[in-house]
A and B are shown apart, each in its own frame.
Chain A
Amino acid sequence: MITVNNLTKNFGSLQVLRGVSCQIAPKEVVVVIGPSGSGKSTFLRCLNQLETATSGEIIINGTKITDPKTNINLVRQEVGMVFQRFNLFPHMTALENVALAPMKVRKQTRAEAEELAMSLLKRVGLQDKAHQYPEKLSGGQQQRVAIARALAMRPKIMLFDEPTSALDPEMVGEVLEVIKSLAFEGMTMVVVSHEMGFAREVGDRVFFMDEGLILEEGTPEEIFNNPQNPRTKAFLSKIL
């Protein structure tokens, strides 16, 4: 479903990704872990071209998205993204946040889009907050709205960029529950996360990234119980 070949990304003279390659199958949940500055967020942002790759190729559902001729807007409709800082639109209610893209991109009527939005808010347990503005919502609620907003485009792949890092500890659980439920429904997902419990429970595979490379990959059991690479061992010993 996702194929990445030798992806590199430079910011000026700094090489953040130094040749990342991987394959991700449909319905697979991949959790990307690694120290900060390892390039994991940049890698994720390349998957929907919020960052343009310096070299290498990314193929999603048979479309080579690193090709400049590809209409990236069409690709992004299939690839939802959830950000660390939520990035809800502050001038819109929760419902409007979720309904905006279906209306403007999918050209649904307001009634259709709002019906869809309401059903998605219900799904993340926030139908009673539909008419609230983001500032009135807790961090956990905002992130759940953000997930509903991404789902409104009916994506085939979801990308999560440290979705719980900006949350107070007591709100992490409610967001992870929603992500988990998506995984059980068979959504293909790439999750950058520091939540090792989540990675163990939900991840089909774990990528350990450091210094712009995937240094080790394997099932959660392999990575957490029997890491091979010394850097993986060092990282895990610090956080577990």
Chain B
Amino acid sequence: MDLKFELIWSYLPLLLEGAKLTVQLTVFAVAIGTVIGLFVSLLRISNFKPVSWAAKIYVDFFRGTPLLVQIFLFYYGVPQLLGLDSMSRHMAGIIALGLNSGAYVAEIFRSGIQSIHKGQMEAARSLGMTYPQAMRYVVLPQAFKVSIPPLGNEFIAMLKDSSLVSVISLPELMQSGRMVANRVYRPFETFILVALLYLVMTTTISQFVSYLERVFGKDDHSQ
């Protein structure tokens, strides 16, 4: 078997362009996912049943259906519902990934919050703090620290899953790889390179997450 990397070498800038879009999609999706996730996790632990049920339905839907299906639903469904001609691929991709991520992040935060001993909330409330104050100053800072490792995993999973938006022809890394492979008829070499680029990105994230863990963990004040 002979591998001919020199043929695809000149297409490296195209692949790097794709990798850039992959990073952008992932960062936006995780940012949206974190905001939604925090909000939904707080609804999820509400004692008011309709609110916690609504949050659970959201989480179950996005965790219980394939991301691929969700991407199609957003790309084709949302313009139809809103009476638009079409939706930008970027917008559809980011929203689908962000909402999907939100469901997973919500569960991460929920379990983080629930891992904090209830005595913490009681002590805060006994001092006259309101529920939101107790959450914000006492429970969430501790829950967030517990959530860093699983959030890192979610970030990595999202980076890899973002390859699925290639189905709506967003020119991220996977889609760029396909284009290059078709042009030079060298799919194996191309996807070796694509895989390596994904690996560089995921490794970078996991390094960053261990760094965060060290920073937040070096003064481990948990009881």
Task: Report which A residues bind B (CB closer than 8 A).
Answer: 48, 50, 73-74, 76-77, 79-81, 83, 85, 87-92, 100-101, 104-105, 133-135, 146, 149-150, 152-153
Contact = CB atoms under 8 A, between A and B. Distances in A.
B127 A153 contact: yes
Contacts of B141: 91
Contacts of B89: none
Given A87-B119, A91-B141, A92-B221, 9 more contacts: A50-B122, A77-B128, A80-B126, A85-B119, A88-B123, A91-B221, A133-B221, A152-B127, A153-B127
Interface stretch (B17-25, B130-138, B169-177): B130-138
B125 interface: yes
A51 B159 CA distance: 45
B223 A83 contact: no
10 contacts: A50-B125, A50-B126, A76-B127, A76-B128, A87-B117, A91-B222, A100-B137, A101-B124, A133-B219, A146-B123
Interface residues on B, range: 20 to 34
Contact of A74 (B128, B142, B221): B128
B145 interface: yes
Given A50-B122, A87-B123, A104-B137, A135 B221 contact: yes
Interface of B is mostly: helix
Contact of B221 (A87, A104, A134, A152): A134
B120 interface: yes
A81 B223 contact: no
Interface of B: 117, 119-120, 122-130, 133, 137-138, 141-142, 145, 219-223
B125 A76 contact: yes
A105 B132 CA distance: 12
B221 A105 contact: no
B128 A73 contact: yes
Given A83-B122, A83-B123, A150-B127, A91 B142 contact: yes
A101 B127 contact: yes
A76 B133 contact: no
B3 to A, nearest CB: 53
A105 B223 contact: no
B135 to A, nearest CB: 12
Contact of B223 (A48, A77, A100, A134): A134
